[in-house]
Amino acid sequence: MSRDYVLRVRLSTYEKEQLQQEAKKRGIPLADLIRACIGQFPPPKKS
């Protein structure tokens, strides 16, 4: 899958630590963890 967009998000220290901890627990990069979370959403509706 092509990666066409970059998303910048501001997080608190606590939120960043939560994400880093979960990614480490799963043995995956932070970006992959975020993509996995997004993958749980329903597909976008076509307009």
What are the DSSP calls for 2-47, one per residue? -----------HHHHHHHHHHHHHHTS-HHHHHHHHHTTSPPPPP-
Nearest CA among 13, 42, 40, 3 for reference residue 31: 3
What does the pLDDT look like over 1-47, one tens digit per residue? 789 999 999 999 999 999 999 999 999 999 999 999 999 999 999 87
> Which residues make Cβ contacts (< 8 Å) with residue 29, sequence separation at least 6?
23
Domain range annotation of the chain = 10-47
* Per-residue model confidence (pLDDT) at position 2: 86
What does the pLDDT look like over 28-41, one tens digit per residue? 999 999 999 999 99
